Structure 1
Amino acid sequence: MIDAISFNDSTLRYLDQRYLPLREEYVSTRNYEEAIEAIKTLAVRGAPLIGVAAAYTIILGINSFQGTKEEFPSFFKSLVAEVEASRPTAVNLFFAAARLKKVYAENYETDTIEALFAKMNTAARKIHDDEIANCDAMSRHGVDQIKIDLAHILKTRKLNVLTHCNTGTLACCGTGSALGVIRLAWQEGLIERVITSESRPLLQGLRLTAWELEHDGIPFVSISDSSSAFLMQRGMIDFGIVGADRIAANGDTANKIGTCAHAISAYHHNLPFYIAAPVSTIDITIPDGTHIPIEERNADELRTIFGTQVASPTTPVLNYAFDVTPGKYLRGIITDKEAVVGNYITGLAALMEE
């Protein structure tokens, strides 16, 4: 399996995804500020992977602490705030930070500083292990749901699936969320071909998903983001599945910009469109997608492609990193606990109570 991120001997090692597929460049650092910059610049990306990277970044930060135990609370609060500010939409980042804050709150008064740090280190590694296990569970639930929803097609042929952005090992540590479902479905003989949309402006589908699929020998074809409705019209897509950066209580989902257009097209053509994401991506505290903060990124990400200017430097740009797909356009939300189909308000709330 692709080793997207690891943490050993107080060193964070990650695959810099900005350079794929042209070159594989691994970076090692013990500096938490460098790790924060990697999250900000999308060297490390994908909601679950960002959560893992955030946990390890906090560990790098506390490893650099040289003050007294009495000085640590102020340092820790500032450190976590800096990490949380790196990517505002990916709720996994806040979920990981919350788990480490809980360890701190429960043990600071009674433990030595060394014992506290050891427990936080263990918690960070557990977040990583959990994400790998989550991928396996999501894949199984997703394939089982596909077999139910698309049984009428599977009686005569295999399926063609659309996915957007990158949701594989590069984004999730394990086999992936949406791409993990696709991988298992292909292994079980359900998939004919994967259709991966380019995912402008940073081309995660064209660069990263295509790279992973080629790495695994899974048949695929890449398309422009604007092609999916036409392919659905022609019967060339049977269903779609993507990941998520945040899911509201009613099933409204923030994901890579362009997702909503694919979902609306699938809904119009009566094709299933699924979200695959771990429960840690669900934010039950917000009622709907209008409350999800949407990151607006640097305009030059759109005006340039890998450093090559494709528009005037003075061209006004709106560069939102995510859009919000209303839950009504989704056939189901696949999680590591189960597939939720139908009433998302009831179903997602029940997941969070387990």
Structure 2
Amino acid sequence: MRTIDWVGDAVEIIDQTLLPDKCVMLRIHTVAELIDAIRRLAVRGAPALGVAGALGVVLADGDPDQIAALRAARPTAVNLAWGVDQAAAHLDEGRAAVLAAALRVRDDDLAASRSMGARGAALLEGDRLRIMTVCNTGGLAAVERGTALSVVQTLHERGRLAEVLVLETRPLLQGARLTTWELGRMGAPHRLIADSAGPYLLARADVDAVLIGADRIAANGDTANKIGSYALALGAERAGVPFIVVAPESTIDEDTPSGDKIEIEDRGADEIVSVRGVRIAPEGTQALNPAFDVTPHDLITAIVTDRRVIRP
């Protein structure tokens, strides 16, 4: 099952806001619909956003205002703007050329996911590995297989996976809702843990490696990823556990020199004061909701891309 694809004359996506209760495919015919899907996280994950950006240019049919609005729909994830740029570079050649470029972005993502899975699995030593991860980095974050979870899937397929410890990933519970759903579908053993339990379990030597994805990697190796990643990096450093970032080359942003230059999206109070529409805090409660944090490069053991292993 593909998270995002071009079918007929429309973009088709899995509506991730309905998982794990329902698996519903949305057909998107306009840029406005696609931007709405991106902003409400019906489609999310850096590689998937890159494909969405490229396919969205096809829907824009050359309209520069729609293309600019799509490019800016989510500021932290560099892949969205990158995907838009890949397809928009062919606007002068006509719609067919734009569609062909967008489909190359999709196909390259499929190949990249498999490459990252194999490269990451080769980097890790030992059998029966226990992996910790945050947020969702599987096929739902890409077209198929994903980034960090592609490594997990490869380990599982090779009989080298003991267990995955999945952080629930507040405030939107992408780990609890999405990663556990994907691990269940692949038959991989896993347990769900509270976000705050991660560093403690690292300190107990219960984990062989931490694998995360990335929404933007700065030129110096600083990495923006889902909020909670930095705490895991600190815990892994203290415990001597490898902390590995898995992301395609397109997530590396050479124009951003360091992590302090990455714009961090704040998604407002609603996601903090309520859970899936049910209020958990008193009316009028204010909240601070950064969707991402930045892990400094000196806390990262390795960055695994579809082409290489980087040791910051």
Answer yes or no: is 1:246 the counterpart of 2:216.
yes
Answer yes or no: is 1:125 the counterpart of 2:103.
yes
Where is the helix percentage greater, Structure 1 or Structure 2?
1
Contact 1:228 1:262 in 2 (8 A): yes
| Partner of residue 15, structure 2 | 16
TM-score normalised by structure 2 residue count: 0.98
How far the C-alpha of 1:277 sits from its partner, in A, is 0.1
Report the secondary structure of 2:90's partner residue: helix
| Partner of residue 284, structure 2 | 314
Paired letter, 2:120: G
Percent identical across equivalent pairs?
39
Cα distance in 1 for residues equivalent to 2:307 and 2:187:
29
How far the C-alpha of 1:271 sits from its partner, in A, is 0.4
TM-score normalised by structure 1 residue count: 0.86
| Partner of residue 119, structure 2 | 141
How far the C-alpha of 1:174 sits from its partner, in A, is 2.1
Cα distance in 1 for residues equivalent to 2:25 and 2:88:
29
| Partner of residue 101, structure 1 | 88
1:231 equivalent among 185, 197, 201? 201
Q: Which runs of 4+ in 1 moved over 6 A?
A: none
How far the C-alpha of 1:29 sits from its partner, in A, is 2.2
Cα distance in 2 for residues equivalent to 1:280 and 1:249:
12
Contact 1:249 1:288 in 2 (8 A): yes
1:89 equivalent among 69, 76, 94? 76
Write out per-residue CA displacement over residues 271-308 of structure 1, whole angstroms, 9 at most, x where no aligned residue.
00100000000001111100001000021011000110
Q: Which runs of 5+ in 2 are unaligned?
A: none
Paired letter, 1:9: G
Contact 2:54 2:102 in 1 (8 A): yes
CA RMSD of aligned residues (A): 1.1
1:292 equivalent among 262, 265, 272? 262
1:256-335, aligned counterparts within 5 Å?
256-335=226-305
Structure (1 or 2) with the larger CA radius of gyration? 1
Write out per-residue CA displacement over residues 104-161 of structure 1, whole angstroms, 9 at most, x where no aligned residue.
2xxx2xx5xxxx11000100111000001000111111111113xxxxxx2xx52110
Paired letter, 2:223: T
Write out per-residue CA displacement over residues 39-81 of structure 1, whole angstroms, 9 at most, x where no aligned residue.
011000001001111111221121xxxxxxxxx5xx3x21211
The count of aligned residue pairs is: 312
Contact 1:133 1:174 in 2 (8 A): no
Paired letter, 2:81: F
Q: Which runs of 5+ in 1 are unaligned?
A: 63-71, 148-153, 345-354
| Partner of residue 180, structure 2 | 210
Cα distance in 2 for residues equivalent to 1:58 and 1:103:
10
